[in-house]
Every structure is written in C-alpha cells, then in structure tokens.
Amino acid sequence: MANSYHRIVLASRPHGWPTPENFRLEEVSSAPLGEGEVRVRNRYLSLDPYMRGRMNDAKSYAAPQMLNETMGGTAVGEVVESRSSQFAVGDTVRGMLGWTEYGVSKAEGIGKVDARQIPLSAYLGIVGMPGMTAWYGYNKIMEPKPGETAVVSAAAGAVGSVVGQLARIAGVRVIGIAGGPDKCRYVTEELGFDACIDYKTAADAKSLAALIAAAAPKGVDAHFENVGGDVLNAVMTLLNPFARVAICGLIADYNATPGQMMKSAILNPGMFLVARFKMQGFIISDHLNRWPEGLTALAGLVASGKLKYRESIADGLAAAPAAFIGMLKGQNFGKQLVRLY
Amino acid sequence: MANSYHRIVLASRPHGWPTPENFRLEEVSSAPLGEGEVRVRNRYLSLDPYMRGRMNDAKSYAAPQMLNETMGGTAVGEVVESRSSQFAVGDTVRGMLGWTEYGVSKAEGIGKVDARQIPLSAYLGIVGMPGMTAWYGYNKIMEPKPGETAVVSAAAGAVGSVVGQLARIAGVRVIGIAGGPDKCRYVTEELGFDACIDYKTAADAKSLAALIAAAAPKGVDAHFENVGGDVLNAVMTLLNPFARVAICGLIADYNATPGQMMKSAILNPGMFLVARFKMQGFIISDHLNRWPEGLTALAGLVASGKLKYRESIADGLAAAPAAFIGMLKGQNFGKQLVRLY
C-alpha cells in the first residue's frame, strides 16, 4: 500500500458541455482506515451518463457532486487492506469507490463479486448497473409481448444493447437507434436487432420518424429511451394504443445550460390521448430488491453466450475526463470503462 | 312521431376555435326504421370536450365527424318507436344518438337507464361517461393513498369534480385548479376540496406552480389532467417520487391550428427522471368492462349524498353550438347539457 495515490476531483462546475478543465488530477496522502472500513485498489472505473447530472448544483435524483472532492462513481478492484471482518485482502469487490487509484469504503458500501466465470469488468456493465437497468426497464415497464415491436435508443450503448438483445431473445421485433454506420452494423449483425436507424442521417424528428416507421410497419408497442430530444418526439408519433415508454435517460439534454429550451421537450402530448400510452421514468437504485432476480437472469444469458457486450476501455486515471466527455458525445462503443492497472 | 325533425350538422371544419358558422341547424324528414332499430326522442344532449377533436379531419382516438352529418354525441331520451324486441315505447335510454330531436340507433347501440332513483340527466354526467372517466382515472391510474396529495385540473367540471370528491372521501389531500373565484369557491365550499387555485391569477406556469406548491407543502403524489399547457408544466415540477399522472384531456390544445406550437408541450421531461413518475393517457371507452364496477360505486355515493354534482343546462337544440363553444372556453359550471324538452 502506497503512502500516496492519485485521484480526480471536480474542479469546477460545467456550463453546458463539460471540459477537461472541470476536472483536476491530484496526488493525495493515504489516511489510515477507520474501524469497519476497507481499502480497495481500483482496477476498472465505470463512466456513466448520470454523472453529468451530478456535476450540476441542482435538484436531481442523486445528490450533487461536491467541488474538490473525488468524482463519485462505481468501480471494481481488489481489497488491499481491511478493518472489516467481512472482507479479506485479495477479495474482488464492487462499490462506489470513485475516480481514484485507491478507494475507501465502509464494508456495507461494497460487495464481493465472483470474477472466475465472468470478467471483473462485466460487473460494471452487463452484470452491473447498466445491465440491471436494461433488465428492469425491459421487464417491468416495457413488458413487450412476442410479436410486438420495440424501439431502443442508444442501441449500441451499455444499456440499450442489453434491452434490444432481451427483446430479440423473447421474439419481439426490435429496432435500434444509434449514431453512425459502425454502431448500426454492430447492432444488427452482432447483437441481432431486426433493424437499426442511424439518427445522424435524419435531419429532424419528422424524417427520423419516417425512417423508424419504415422499419416498424405495425407501429411501436414499447420504447426504451436513453436519449430524448428528436428521438423521443419521433417515436411518440408511432406508438400503438397502450404502448409503454420507459424513460431511462435523456442524454440529449444533460448539457443544456439553465434557461435553454430543452431539446427533449415533448412537443405533442396529445399523443398521450391518441395512443393512450404510459411513459414512466425509472432509476435502478430505486429497485435494488430486484437485483438478485435480474442478476440471475443476466448472468445465465451471459454465461450461455446469448447476451453479447462490448467495452470501450480508456487506459489510466488521467484518461478518465476525456473518456467521460467522449461518452457524452457518443464516441464510446458499449460500456465505457477506465482501466487503472 | 313527427314526419320531420331538427338536427345540427357539422357544416365546416374549424380552424382554431370553432364558431357558430361551423354548425348548421336543419330540418329533415323522418325515415322509416329498419329491423332492429329504435327511435328515441332525445331529452338531454351531452356536450363534451372530446367532440372538438372529432371536428378535425385528423388521426385521433375517435373517427372524425363527417361533414353534413348529424353531430355525434351521447344523449338520453325516451323510446318513441321500436323495431327491436329489447325496447318498448316509453323506455328511458342512453346512446350515441347525436345532436338531434330524434335519434335512431340499432338496439345494441343504446342501453336502458333507470331514472327513478337518479335523474335522467345524471346518466350523461356523474353516472355517465364523465363520472366513469373520473372513477377509472382515479382508481386505476392515480391510485392515491390516504394522506397523499392529489391535484385535479378543471376541478369544477364534470370529470374533475368527481375525481376530487373521490379523493376527499378517501382521505387524500386534494387541490383543485379552476378558472375564477366562483368555481374555486364551489370546489372548496360545496365539493370539499382542501384547496383550489384560480389559474387565472397566475401569469405563467412558474407562478402557477408557486400557488400550487403553497397548497401542497408535501409535494404532489397524483395528478389528474384535463387541461394541459401551463397547468401540466406547473404540476410536473412539484411531483414527488413515484407520482402518477392520469392524462384525461388536454383542452388547452384542442383549438390549436396545425403547425402551431402546442401550448401543452412538456417543457421539462427531465422531471421523468428526477421524480420517476408515470404519466398515462386513457379513454374510458377502452375500459367498458369496468363500467358495472364503477357505476355501482358512483351510484351508491350519489344516492347517499356523498358525491355532489352540478349541471349547466342550455335550452333548445339551437343553443347547442354556443353552449359547446362556451364549454371549450370554460364558461360552463359542471356538466354541460342541452335540454330539448
């Protein structure tokens, strides 16, 4: 255990898009552990869109990130020091350990993960929060039936890719929306979606709706929204009666400046009456009691090769800010991680 | 049975607000009944906001009203001629009989109503479609628990007044939104809502939200929307986690011209994630299987005096267009009817 380590703190709050200057890499001294605490050498950091919301000093579902404190976030790694009887040196664990080489947590804030059957990094992705988010939204809100049509935005991403594969496995016609031909090819050829729309080829919500409509001749029965903006407005015009829309993320707006018109304003709420659909926001941390059920389902599908996933890996702590900003711009491909060693 | 009768047809489609010129009162000859048909002398016509949507030639949940055809709508009246074994002259019935002195329907299109315990007109209101709409939205979408806070827009109207009274009876704190001091006084003093906000005293959604917030110190757990626009945007900012929003009507937009920015655009869909709420549109005609259950509940509450209602009655068929336009502008007080005799 080193006497000092590196971490990344929030140096300033962004106005609109975050920049590298909003972050600061610094070296700090290790403090002794308190009773019941565990020190973890982080191996992979998870970068997630929700972190953008926490960088604002505004009401949201998560408390704001404090200035000059270690950027919060989930990580996986190895226990290097323990003052808890529940963890021993060498255990592989996951927890809210932050953007740091060494994280400290109370024992109740971390959990052991079994990295023998499934790679350690997957506990930040397909069998972690993104996978569980997909599983919950798919099964508890979208609830598509075989033969129905579902749409998923950010279809090549860590969450969307799982939603679409769950649909495909269940016999649901599934249309992805993603940015660029490479992602669309991955979504259809590797993940097995029935179709994928490159939203970059559509000038506006109307032309995007026309592209989706061509791939969804029977309309849309369920939708999983990660993006918002034109995507949501386009899909809303295609919903069949009694459709279900799960709102997981609205990344199109995360970098809006205060007072700016939200890109994802829902322009035609009359569709709520035309199609009598349900739209429901959710956050997986409200539903941790479902984790065992979801983990069992996902781990089984991963182990049997029915669920595929991809990771974008940035190397070294210093690479985290640029990787995070790139992810917000859609430059990642699958789950965005930072590998520390 | 007269050889001719009067009816009102749709003469032209409105652009924006309807005008009296969009309607035409005319005299037509009576046609002989076909086998299985029934002729009804209409006593009360129901005027409802949904009719405005049908006046457009656009996709909606109901087929468009045809030009030069009798304006569609529910009515109650007395059978004057029958070629069905199911109905006898003198029966009191309800059905889609239209804006006409005499309506003709297949037997399966009408139903007998018992006007001995409950007045005939109430079958167009509190124990008719508006009452059932309130009952369904309250029980199946809002689902408020005792001690929670609910908001209802168009609180003095045929639907909103029932929603709020159901909440009050169940021990839910209920705040109405209505237009003008007379309606607000009725809502609190006669119907027993805990509070009522006169939306006309608010300049915009933000100031409306402040007024509602003052009456809802613990936030809003359930909302019943009849109006849309500023009202919906205001309430959305006050929703508690896991709130339920029933979208029954968006009357603020029914007179928008095509291409116009909808007043009820949902400006901050990020609230779906902040408060993880559900928003669901519904139309009672999708849920006719619930009618017996709802009717039993409502009729019991009306008979015991626990549910109050009010009617705005226009006299004579010729008064229907002006009464309809007035209702769209909020000039009615409770259920808007036209009395024919």
Q: Tell me, what CATH number does B110's domain have?
A: 3.90.180.10
Residues B197 and B327 in one domain: no
- B268–A contact, CB cutoff 8 A: yes
Q: Are A271 and A277 in contact (CB under 8 A)?
A: yes
Residue A313's pLDDT is: 97
Q: Is residue A292 part of a domain?
A: no
Give the domain range for residue B144. 129-285
Q: Identify whether B303 is part of a domain.
A: no
Buried b (16+ CB within 10 A) or exposed e, B228-246: bbbbbbbbbbbbbeebbbb
pLDDT at B254 over 80: no
Identify the band that residue B137 occupies on the pLDDT scale cut at 50, 70 and 90. Answer: very high
C-alpha–C-alpha distance, residues A313 and A311, integer Å: 6
Residues A112 and A207 in one domain: no
Mean pLDDT for each 10-residue chunk of chain A (341 residues)? 89 94 97 96 95 84 87 97 97 97 96 91 95 97 97 95 97 97 96 97 94 98 95 96 96 66 77 95 93 93 92 97 94 93 93
B55 and B77 in one domain?
yes
Do A156 and A273 have their domain in common? yes
Whether residues B119 and B8 fall in one domain: yes
CA distance B75 to B144: 32
In a domain, A264, yes or no: yes
Q: Same domain for A257 and A117?
A: no
Contact A280 B278 (CB under 8 A): yes
Q: Which residues are paired to A220 by β-bridges? A: A239
Residue A298 placed within a domain: no
Q: B273–A249: do the CB atoms touch at under 8 Å?
A: yes
Mutation test of the interface with chain B: which of A51, A60, A236, A279, choosing the one with the most B Cβ atoms within 10 A? A279
- Sort out which chain A residues have CB atoms less than 8 A from B229's CB and list them: none
Q: What is the mean pLDDT of chain B?
A: 93
- Residues A208, A211, A214, A219, CA torsion sign: negative
Q: Is residue A297, in this structure, part of any structural domain at all?
A: no
Query: Where among A285, A301, A323 does a domain terminate?
Result: A285
Alpha carbons A26 and A320: distance in angstroms, whole number: 13
- The reply to whether B300 falls in a domain is no
Is residue A266 domain-resident?
yes
What is residue A100's predicted lDDT score, i.e. its pLDDT?
Answer: 98
Task: Decide if B302 is inside a domain.
Answer: no
What is the pLDDT, as a whole number, of residue A314?
Answer: 97
Helix then strand then coil, % of chain B, to nearest 5: 30, 25, 40
Indicate whether B200 and B271 sit together in one domain.
Answer: yes
Q: B60 touching A, CB under 8 A?
A: yes
| B165 and B234 assigned to the same domain | yes
Average pLDDT over residues B324-328: 94
Q: What is the pTM of this model?
A: 0.88
Tell me the CATH number at B193: 3.40.50.720
pLDDT, residue B262, reads 57
Confidence of residue B251 (pLDDT cuts 50, 70, 90): confident
Average the pLDDT over B20-45 and give the result.
Answer: 97
The reply to whether A118 and A137 lie within a common domain is no
**pLDDT reported for residue B59:** 65
Looking from the CA of B105 toward its CB, the CA atoms found within 13 Å total 29
State the smallest CA–CA distance between residue B233 and chain A in angstroms: 11
Domain count, chain B: 2
Q: Are residues A92 and A208 in the same domain?
A: no
List the single residue in A with minimal CA-CA distance to B62. A274
B156 and B121, same domain (yes or no): no
Residue B28 shares a structural domain with residue B175: no
Please give, rounded to a whole number of angstroms, the shortest distance from the CA of A244 to a CA of chain B. Answer: 9
Residue A126, both tokens: 């397909």
